[in-house]
Amino acid sequence: MKRNNDGTFAVGNKGGGRKKGSRNRATADVREFFNELILGNQDQIRKDFEQLEPKERIRFMIELAKIVLPALQSIHYEDLSSGAVKVADPFAQMRLNHGLDKVE
């Protein structure tokens, strides 16, 4: 198969693989399997969860949240007129106000 200098397929060559934007079927199958596994074992998962120590329950919830919930990011920007740093996340602003973001 002929390729261009940048490594892409030359005109007229069919490059196999998925089309841009199409979903990976293997990934979809794994997600579906995992979803069915979780849904089919909810009672057992709940029982196991209740047997965990409080610290382990919190760790489990945090790890699960990383997978299930989208990650949130705070927004920092600098007001060039005053030189002040403004933070959209109120907790980040509190950490800045109290010097808790500094590593010693």
Q: Around 21, how many Cα atoms within 13 Å sit in the side-chain half-sphere?
A: 0
Give the pLDDT confidence score for residue 104 in this predicted structure. Answer: 47
Q: What pLDDT, in 10s, does the model give residues 66-87? A: 887 777 766 656 666 666 666 5
* pLDDT at residue number 84: 62
Contact 86, 79 (CB under 8 A): yes
Amino acid at position 63, single letter: E
State pLDDT tens for residues 9-41. Answer: 777 766 666 677 777 888 889 888 988 998 899
Q: Which residue has the higher pLDDT, 24 or 99?
A: 24
Q: Which residues pair with 84 in a beta bridge?
A: 79
Q: Read off the pLDDT of each residue in 45-54 and give the average, rounded to a whole number.
A: 94
